[in-house]
């Protein structure tokens, strides 16, 4: 879900594992030359989702990478195929009342409850592992690492 800590935890996990970190939302902002809020207000969600799938497709080809996707990546079924090519998918599950909404256009527009109703079943279906976010970002990253380790996986 938006605001669950994907970028923060992903960055820490990358440090723990010695891998590079890729934040899809940040890459979208760089490609569009504006922040996500402006992309949604000026270009619309469809344009944002197009960029998201395009950039995810580019990043997923890389090895030794921890990727933080946006919470809406599950709204495009083709993204699952991309992610399954070279990834272990981890769903960070946080209580809805703990999710941040600032700077998250859809969370503000549609509401957390509506997004959760639409997305939670997909997060659970798509994920290889579900990690409850109840601790600090560092503890959550360590929990992921302990669950899946580095082993011989190319990416997670």
Predicted confidence pLDDT, tens digits, the chain (156 residues): 777 889 999 999 999 999 999 999 999 999 999 999 899 999 999 999 999 999 999 999 998 899 999 888 999 999 999 999 888 999 999 887 777 656 655 555 566 788 889 889 999 999 999 998 988 999 999 999 998 875 544 443
Residue ranges making up the domain that contains 72: 6-145
CATH, residue 95: 3.40.50.300
> Could you tell me if residue 25 is inside a domain?
yes
> Could you tell me if residue 1 is inside a domain?
no
Number of independent structural domains in the chain? 1
Residue position matching structure tokens 């090519």: 85
- CA–CA gap between residue 126 and residue 78 (Å, rounded): 12
> Could you tell me if residue 154 is inside a domain?
no
Stated pTM of the model: 0.84
> Could you tell me if residue 156 is inside a domain?
no
> Could you tell me if residue 17 is inside a domain?
yes
């Amino acid at each position: 879900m938006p605001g669950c800590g994907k970028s923060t935890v992903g960055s820490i996990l990358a440090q723990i594992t010695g891998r590079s970190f890729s934040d899809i939302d940040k890459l979208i902002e760089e490609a569009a030359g504006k922040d996500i809020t402006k992309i949604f207000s000026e270009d619309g969600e469809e344009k944002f989702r197009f960029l998201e799938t395009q950039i995810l497709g580019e990043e997923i080809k890389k090895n030794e990478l921890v990727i933080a996707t946006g919470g809406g990546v599950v709204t495009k079924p083709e993204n699952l195929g991309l992610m399954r090519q070279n990834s272990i998918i981890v769903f960070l599950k946080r209580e809805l009342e703990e999710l941040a909404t600032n700077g998250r256009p859809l969370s503000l527009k549609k509401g957390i409850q509506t997004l959760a109703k639409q997305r939670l079943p997909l997060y659970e279906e798509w994920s290889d592992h579900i990690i409850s976010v109840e601790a600090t970002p560092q503890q959550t990253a360590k929990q992921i690492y302990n669950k899946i380790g580095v082993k011989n996986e190319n990416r997670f």
